[in-house]
Chains A and B, each alone.
Chain A
Amino acid sequence: MAKITMTVNGRQVSGMCDDRTLLVHFIRENLGLTGTHVGCETSQCGACVIHMDGLSVKSCSILAVQAAGSSITTIEGLAKDSELHPVQAAFKAHHGLQCGFCTPGMVMTAVDMIARHGSSLDEATVRAELEGNICRCTGYHNIVKAILAAAAEMGGLRQAAAE
């Protein structure tokens, strides 16, 4: 057993776990943050995507002890109080989901994608970068629409803030 400490959604948390415990299980079971989903657990589906030190990673393929000392953001850390993050709002507005199981991973992937590409994000890049996220309902069209809309809106917000 190891005692590990990390920052999750801006709050320092500690917990005991086996060295073999996966980060996704630590997040869900020790911290009670069940927004991060376990889908395939073989690194294919992306339902477990979170951000570690600012970059998207698959939390089913990382040990919790590997993440000790890092800064983690999960889907629960995106919204500010009752105000949805622009990517969450765009998924709602464009109906970028059906059953919703893949949505936390999709949203975390989209936030990372927009952070790296900004408002210059185009459809081909969005589709290529969704390589690691599987949705078995939507056929991806509305997910892609939502991500592009969020990228444009966030670019506009950044520009407005700069002016």
Chain B
Amino acid sequence: MYQTNYHRPSSIQEAVKLMSGAAEGKYLAGGMTLIATMKQRLAAASDLVDLRHIAEMKGITVNGRSVRIGAATTHHEVESSAELKAVCPAVCALASHIGDPHVRHMGTIGGSIANNDPAADYPAAMLALDAKIVTNSREIAAADFFTGLFETALHDGEIITAIAFDAPARAAYQKFPNPASRYAMAGVFVARRDNGDVRVAVTGAGSNGVFRHQGMEAALAGNWSPDAVGNVSVDASDLLTDLHASAAYRANLIKVMTKRAVAAA
């Protein structure tokens, strides 16, 4: 790892100020991706601004069906929140399958979303839940937030402070993990609202990152059952091909994961 300078602010304002004074600074949340990347010298942050000690960025608030999760909330805290489980157990279940217990004790929802790894789980949930990504300066709809592989709408120095969404009537997430890395080779989050609105968001498979599948959504809006997606075609031309799976294989996985998610919802 290259040399770096560590900072520990206790407020969002202090964090923004520290970042504005840094040459090539990076915000550090749980560090479960960033530290590993820095160790490999694939990232070289001149300064690290630690967000783990900012009280206003932590915790889960559920008000009726409206959910707000502080960006510095760990996967473990999301997984074990009884309040969240009561209104949207799908998000708890998703968090419980990220990495391993030790990674879940450190990794945060804000860090995962800001990183926008094309195989990360949370981006699919954000898109399917029509979540708002709350930052220190604005609110960004999930649909506008994830802009490409590891790319987001965040400006330099902007901090995700929370995410917010209304819990849908039914939801579930299913992924096919890579047997070695356990990252999703295809992960599908389905959500259905009382008004019949259905969203199907896919991670791990798109060559431009997380995306919604309109064909699946239309089929499931007409008939909310695993059988409904049987005849939906999944275009493989925009899907990833790598040593783990071809685009055609991933196209099939998307269908299978969607069926399993609808069955589980």
Find chain B residues with CB under 8 A from A129 CB.
100-101
Is B4 touching A66 in the complex (CB atoms < 8 A)? no
- Give chain A's interface residue range (CB within 8 Å of chain B): 20 to 34
Q: Which of A38-67 contact B (CB under 8 A)?
A: 41-43, 46, 49, 52, 55-58, 61-63, 65-66
Q: When A20-B1, A62-B35 are in contact, do A57 and B102 touch as well, CB less than 8 Å?
A: yes
* Interface residue SS majority, chain A: mixed
Chain B window 1-45, contacts with chain A (Cβ cutoff 8 Å), 1 for yes, 0 for no: 111111010000000000000000000100110011011000000
Set B6, B32, B101: member contacting A56, Cβ < 8 A: B101
Is B3 touching A43 in the complex (CB atoms < 8 A)? no
Find chain B residues with CB under 8 A from A20 CB.
1-4, 38
Is B35 touching A61 in the complex (CB atoms < 8 A)? yes
Is A2 engaged at the interface, CB distance under 8 Å to the other chain?
yes
Nearest 7 interchain pairs by C-beta: A132-B100, A131-B100, A19-B6, A55-B105, A65-B6, A20-B1, A58-B102
Is B3 touching A62 in the complex (CB atoms < 8 A)? no
Least distance between B99 CB and chain A CB atoms (Å): 7
Is B154 engaged at the interface, CB distance under 8 Å to the other chain?
no
Is B103 engaged at the interface, CB distance under 8 Å to the other chain?
yes
Chain A positions within 8 Å of B, measured between CB atoms, are: 2, 18-20, 22, 41-43, 46, 49, 52, 55-58, 61-63, 65-66, 68, 109, 112-113, 129, 131-133
Provide the bound-state CA to CA distance between A113 and B35, in Å: 25
Contacts beyond the supplied A58-B102, A65-B8, A66-B6: 4 A-B pairs with Cβ under 8 Å: A19-B48, A61-B31, A61-B32, A131-B101
